[in-house]
Amino acid sequence: MTDLLANLEPRPLWRYFLELSKIPRASKQETAAAAWVVAQAKALGCQVEQDKVGNVLIRKAASPGREKRPVVAMQAHVDMVCEKNEGTAHDFAKDPIKVRRDGDVLRATGTTLGADNGIGVASALAVLADPDLKHGPLEVLVTIDEETGMTGAKALAAGWLKASMLLNLDSEEEGELTIGCAGGVDTTCTRKLSPAAPRAGTVALRLKVSGLKGGHSGIDIAGWRANSLRLLAQALDRLLARYALGLASVAGGNKRNAIAREASAVFFADPRDEAGIKADVARLEAEWRAAFGTFDPNIAITLEAGSAEWVMSAADARAVVGLLLAGPHGVEAMSPDIKGLVQTSTNMGLVETRAGEVEVNFLTRSSIDASKYALAARIGAIAAICGFEARDSNGYPGWKPEPGSGVVQLIQQVHAELFGKPMEVKAIHAGLECGLMRENYGTVEMASIGPNMWDVHTPDEHVSVPSVANFWKLLRAILEKV
């Protein structure tokens, strides 16, 4: 860590970030990371509380003479999306993130970096540790489990926060001021299987789709990136129509809120058909590369030896492939009010085959609640036609923009003073915890800021070092201005 810190500024912020990166903090497994946050805050002499689900609230008294200033809260989430490249030897339950510098960015080695939202947590702690910052009363709210349902924010007790202004530190583009976001709901589709023994004389083969960009299912959903689950279904549909295959399993995607980068299926085939299958696979790869072009240029589809003990029935196989083909994925509607903003979308994020059943997960987002639930209902109807049972869960509201609020005007003024221009005010299609906090803290004015980071929720996640320095300047200046 010492070598990494040598030329990183602001040094306190990066020190906290690199220390946090040593602690496993997958969603729903943040106990150790939250305890570390508590320990850092207590070491700084701050008042610390932790609620029953694990959220941490830190309070720091105002600088002398600023006691009557408004209370300002900074908010970030401590969990991270844990995704790795196939073949990367990393256990997210115990291994530290291997952070490395690549020019002006920091990356991880074969895994997600956790800058989303480790940078937010680290910057809030660095604020508390800054002896030179002149500020009013401060609160820091560090939530758990943002990435898999926002259960930490859902559990916040009314009245716990005292702030009249909240700065969410979970945005990912420098120079942009986020003042609204989409809500979301998960739909989990499950089908019981009727397993049988493979046909005598057949061999197990594994069909794999890989090389895709993937990405954040809110931020990158409009980028027309390929979804490995959809491509896998297209391949299986073609192969099942031409060959007498026994489908054993389908699997793919790593997180509900990440566009699936890799997927695979194991099936049994007559050895005499293997050459034909390989030729069809090669043609599919060429077709897909031509179809997606620069949107996703490195698509690969490969065939290798597989392993399985049973196969699905023919009806099961048709149902599974049918749902993956017919289920929605991608942009459903654009906003009629905000140019370039996705209003409604679905991410077909995960499929898993386990003993006796297949499960497919969809995450639907929309800034319009009625549209969100209408699309979830359509997914449920398609699932029913394909013989799956559908269940909705983890619903959360959107955050309505308030461009005329005081916090927006304040941040715009500070940014113009520092950098000579106002920020671009925007709403995003991704989810932020502000929508949920609006339910419990309806009078709090909120806005979200952050540095440049790219390819979050994928092993290509990276964060800009110069941008973090600018973000730090902005955050300090806002707090001094209040």
Residues designated as active site = 79, 146
φ, ψ dihedrals at 386, nearest 5°? -85, 5
Structure tokens at 419: 């950098």
Report d(CA 178, CA 438) in Å as an integer: 15
Query: Rounded to whole angstroms, how far apart are CA atoms 145 and 55?
Result: 9
Residues 6+ apart with CB under 8 A from 435: 181, 183, 396, 397, 398, 399
> How many angstroms separate the CA atoms of 413 and 404, rounded?
13
Q: How far is the C-alpha of 112 from the C-alpha of 81, rounded, in Å?
A: 7
Rg (CA), the chain: 24
Strand partners, 311: 196
- Annotate 335-375 with DSSP letters as a single string: -SSSTT-EEEEEEEEEEEEETTEEEEEEEEEESSHHHHHHH
Structure tokens at 344: 């409604």
Amino acid identity for residue 146 in this structure: E
- Name the DSSP letter for residue 131: S
Query: What are 381's two structure tokens?
Result: 């109807």
Report the amino acid identity of residue 346. T
Helix axes of 274-292 and 228-242: crossing angle, nearest 10 degrees: 140
CA dist., res. 281 & res. 214, Å (int): 21
Torsion over CA: 9, 10, 15, 21 (sign): negative
| Buried b or exposed e, range 217-246, using 16+ CB within 10 angstroms | bbbbbeeebbbbbbbbbbbbeebbeebebb
